[in-house]
Each structure stands twice: as C-alpha cells, then as structure tokens.
Structure 1
Amino acid sequence: MRYQVRGAASVLIAWSSKILVAAIEPSTRQLGLSNAFVGVFVVAILGNAAEHATAITMAMKNRMDLSLAIAIGSSVQVALFVAPVLALASLFVGPAAMDLDFPPGLVLVVVLSVLITGQVAGDGRSDWFKGVQLLAVYLILGMAFAFLAGGSPH
C-alpha cells in the first residue's frame, strides 16, 4: 500500500511538473526572459517552494540551525546528486546528452554563493540584517541574470 501511494505521488508530481514547464515556456518568451534567468531563479524558486516554506517556518520559530540546514541541504542535494544523475540519465533519454560544462558566469555565481553562505553561516549567529543582506545579494544576482544574460547560457 505504501509503495502504491508513493508511486501515485510520483505520477502526480511528474504531471504537475509538466504543467509548470508548459506554463513557463510561453511566459518566458512573452516576457523576454533569458533561459539562464528562468533556470536559475524562476524554476529554483518554484521547484523548492516546500523547502523554502519549511525553512521560513523554522526561522520564525527561532530554529535557525534547522532553517539553515534545510536551505543549504536543498542546494547541496541538487548540486551533488540531482545534476549528475540528470547528466547520466540524459545519455539514455532525450535528444542529446547533457554535459556539466557550465559557462564561467554561472560558475562565478556558484563560487560567490558558497563564499557568502560560509560568511553568513560560519559564526553560528543570525539577525535580521544578515537576512536583508542575503536578500539584497539574491536580488542583485537576479537582476544581473534578467538583464545581462541574453538568451541561452551557452
């Protein structure tokens, strides 16, 4: 019974993902957004909405250790597991193999993100001003991807 529920949940998630992609593509073209912006910001926000909500809830309950673990863990999971599995799966499924050859701008953003996260989480303390600074960095990177990245990242 438990596996049937998991299987049904997986099918529903795949179906809703297909609807999400179908809705994003025309909107992206109409708004003139680059593929890099949509992939790095829009899909990341929508795809991890549950993790974001849980991290915010834990932060509101003053459980910053758990909030940071959820937020950072989600990113690490995608970087170390999801991306390599997708690259391997693309060898068997899809029109072309996916590589992990990222443009220098995206690599720079990842390096900066790791450095900033290390600075924020390194001392084990948090306050509202650190949150505002992180939101400002996210907004600056979002604007850079929206206005400077033209078209496809390759």
Structure 2
Amino acid sequence: MTKFLLSLHVLAAIVAVGPVTVAASMFPPAVRRADPSSPAASGTVALLHRICRIYARLGLAVPVLGVATAAAMGVLGDGWLVVSMTLTAVAAGFLVAFVLPRQEELLDALDGGQPVERGQTVQLAMFAGVFNLLWATVTVLMIVRPGSTTGA
C-alpha cells in the first residue's frame, strides 16, 4: 500500500504542481508582450491564469496523499517531513496570497485596456520565483530525506 500511495503522491505532484510552476513563471512575460489595445490581448494571459487556478486546486491532492504516505511509512514526526509540510503550506499560501491575486489584477487591467507597468510584472515574477523555489526545496527534501533511516 505504501508504494501505491507514494506513486499517487509523486504523480499528483508532477501533474498538479508542475503546470502551476510553469504557468506562473510564464505569466509575467506574457503580460508584458500583450497589447492592451487589442481585444484578444488577454487570451494567453487568461489561459495561464486559469491553469494556475485549476491546477492549484488539483494540487491539494499532493499534501493529502503525502500525509497518507508518511503515515503508512511511519515517518510523520520526522524532521525532514515536518519541514517539507511547512514549506508546502508556505508555498500554497504564497500562491493564494501573492501570485493568483496579482495575476487577476493584471488580467483585469488588460481586459480594461489599461497598460500594465513593468514593475507589476517584475514583482509577480519574483513571487512566482519564490513559489517555485519553495517547491524545488520540498522536492529536494523529499528525495534526500536528511536524517531518515529510509533516506538516500
């Protein structure tokens, strides 16, 4: 059962978190390239935002399956796992509090035909980068598992 849960956990991470990290990174340059005077300016930008929103919801399966896997492995109290779960919560909070709202603001500006300031896209790119860095750190912790008796 542990291998099955671990497989589902890893697949969920790849399928759900991967698209969010890529779409969040692609969003700021797509906004910069969009012409606010064009009626179709927000097409690509809207798609990238939709990918972030939908796959963020699907991403909820990752920690759920992760906790189930950790419980089956008997490692719920291990330090590397507690740090990973904390960083996962911080990454999710970052996405919900900083990335998605700013994407919506920029998308609304484009839809309203308003120009987008470069500073807004730079700030969003920074937030997306922090989000991605948090997920990369969690991934490394999941692979290395420092202090784990089952670690590499």
- Return the TM-score normalized by structure 1: 0.41
